[in-house]
Amino acid sequence: MEYIVETKHLTKSFGKEKAVSNLEMKIPKGEIYGFLGPNGAGKTTTIRMLLGLMRPTSGSVQLFGKDMKNSRIEILKNVGSLVENPSYYPHLTARENLEASRKILNVPKKRIDEVLKQVRLHGVANKKVKGFSLGMKQRLGIAAAMLHQPELLILDEPTNGLDPSGIIEMRQLIQSLPEEYGMTVLISSHLLSEIDQMATRVGVVSKGKMIFQDSIETMRKFAQASIQVRVNDNEAAWRSLLANGQKADIGEESVTLQAEDDEQVAGSIQYLVQQGFSIYRVQEEKRSLENIFLEMTREEQAG
């Protein structure tokens, strides 16, 4: 497969501490990649290395199949970015801020008005940015990242500081990018709920290590409901189910059925009754994506 972003054994140490450790990130073209991890997981450090702002301690970064070390300029022509807190020149207006970048990017002047409209800042285009609210600065940062219609957009916590309607607008904007412009988007967050409605792929990082990387559907499968059954003798019931060829797990106080549909659940319960077990409880347990994400990062931290 052709990847827009591919890192190999990417590692960054600060002193003895490894902020990013052997990270293998793979982002296919046209995906919206949600880059998730708790505070201090190494998301921003990874993104800095993707943009060549910081040198990796070891490992490599390839964007569009080109190596960051040798083809930095060529690569960056097609990348737009927003790293950590929004960056801006406080003494310039919103329009002037974009103009300072535009001169270097060499794109037509009309792009400035286009991106200002896209992020709904055209009303305050001539105001000094130092007077902007955090959300307005964040929008300006996104506008700057889109100025040259890059093939890859890298946004580090772009919803930081946005109000709910701003978050929804942002989500709609980002969702439309792959379809309309064929862009690939990398968006980091520490909240799964924030990106699960737009991401098509997810990478979960914890303590600098990638602990999950797959499509959002695969992640959702983890979230499917499971049926827990409590009987008079859980262990015997579990063995009996396994002997009958049904999938089940044993927990501390119950047996968990891995049933795909209602019929299977009914069949398993009927079987247990026929075997003479007393059934005390049958309950459904739903795990939200957020829970899965929390469990993933918690396991990693405990281990």
Partner 1 sequence: MFSVINSEWFKLRKSKVLFLLLVAPLVGLFIGLANSFIEIEGINAWYEKLIMMNFTYATLFLPLISGVFAGVICRYEHQEGGWKQLLALPVTRGKVFLSKYLVLILLMLAMQLMYLVSIYLVGMIEGITDPFPMDIVWKSILGGWVATLPLIALQLWVSIAFKSFAAPFAINVIFTLPTILVINSERFGPYYPWGQPFLMMNISGSTEDVFFVPWDQILMVIGGSFLLFFIGGYLYFQRKAV
Ligand X SMILES: Nc1ncnc2c1ncn2[C@@H]1O[C@H](COP(=O)(O)OP(=O)(O)OP(=O)(O)O)[C@@H](O)[C@H]1O
Q: Which residues here bind ligand X, judged by CB under 6 A?
A: 14, 19, 37, 39-45, 190
Q: How far is the CB of 266 from ligand X (least distance, A)?
A: 45
Distance CA 80, CA 77 (A): 8
Task: Provide the β-strand partners of residue 82.
Answer: 155
Distance CA 9, CA 192 (A): 25
Burial of 7 (0-12, 13-18, 19+ CB in 10 A): buried
> Residues 116, 134, 193, 5: what is their CA dihedral angle, to the nearest 10 degrees?
60
Helix (H, G, I), strand (E, B) or coil at 133: coil
Burial of 31 (0-12, 13-18, 19+ CB in 10 A): buried
Kindly write out the interface string for residues 20-59 of this chain, putting x where it contacts partner 1 by CB under 8 A and - elsewhere: ----------------------------x--xxxxx----
Q: Which is nearer to partner 1, 44 or 240 (CB)?
A: 44
Out of 1, 15, 70, 106, which residue is the one contacting partner 1 (CB under 8 A)?
106
Q: Which is nearer to ligand X, 35 or 64 (CB)?
A: 35
Cα–Cα distance list, 73 to 106, 159, 221, 266, 280 (Å): 14, 28, 40, 62, 67
Side-chain half-sphere CA neighbours of 51 within 13 A: 20
By CB under 5 A, how many residues form the interface with Mg ion? 2
Could you tell which of Mg ion, partner 1, ligand X, none binds residue 37, using a CB distance below 5 to 8 A set by kind? ligand X
Q: Does 87 bind partner 1 (CB under 8 A)?
A: yes
Could you tell which of partner 1, ligand X, Mg ion, none binds residue 158, using a CB distance below 5 to 8 A set by kind? none
Q: Does 44 bind Mg ion (CB under 5 A)?
A: yes
- Which residues of this protein are in contact with partner 1, per CB under 8 A? 48, 51-55, 72-74, 76-77, 79, 81, 83-92, 96, 99-101, 103-106, 144
- Which residues of this protein are in contact with Mg ion, per CB under 5 A? 43-44
